[in-house]
Amino acid sequence: MLLIAMVSCCCAVFAQKFVPKIEAGTEMTYTVSMNGESIQFQLNVNSIGDSVKMTWEVAKYGSGQYVMAAQSLENGNKMTLQAPEPDETTKLSNSETMVFISRSAYKSIAKNQEMEFDNLKYILTKDATPAIKIDNKELDVLHAISTDGKNEMWVLNNPAFPLICKTKNGTAGASFTLQSIR
């Protein structure tokens, strides 16, 4: 009986979903697909304070910085899709985020099971979808589908930093898939 209890406890621990901590020094790699082409997009969080400063890099294109105001992370309602220019700092408006939904959008989807983001209304779905795994660990995500059924988004279940882990048929046709986070 003791052996069965121990195995059950171990299985429960291993079955828990993973929520990586996002802080200064966090590195994320995405595959971004658009118009039949895919690129690797690396994003490093440099600092978090009155703004979130991130360095981006795309092989054979260049690197630069994003500066996202704290107001953007709190209440932004769209993700920027502007192609950044190498060796430049791109300052996002207070309504724009980069790879995050705002905390207010997260609160809305978690509490009311719906949110507005990128001029679309998303509804939380409980439908089974393939797990999003990083290093063989399943991420704890919220899965939302636009009311027209064309767009999907998987967001890390983290109220402080609701990271977009995956999009399908995202705004402007771009789809993102998180490949790694450290």
Tell me what pLDDT residue 81 has. Answer: 74
3-state secondary structure of 86: coil
Flag whether pLDDT at 9 surpasses 90. no
Residue 18 near residue 137, CB atoms below 8 Å: yes
Number of domains within the chain: 1
Full-model pTM: 0.88
Q: What is the pLDDT of residues 61-93, one digit of tens each?
A: 999 999 999 999 999 999 987 778 999 999 999
Flag whether pLDDT at 15 surpasses 80. no
Could you list the residue range(s) of the whole structural domain that residue 126 is in? 2-181
And the tokens for 87?
Answer: 């060796």
**For residue 68, what are the contacts with CB-CB under 8 A and spacing of at least 6?**
51, 52, 53, 54, 76, 92, 96, 97, 98, 100
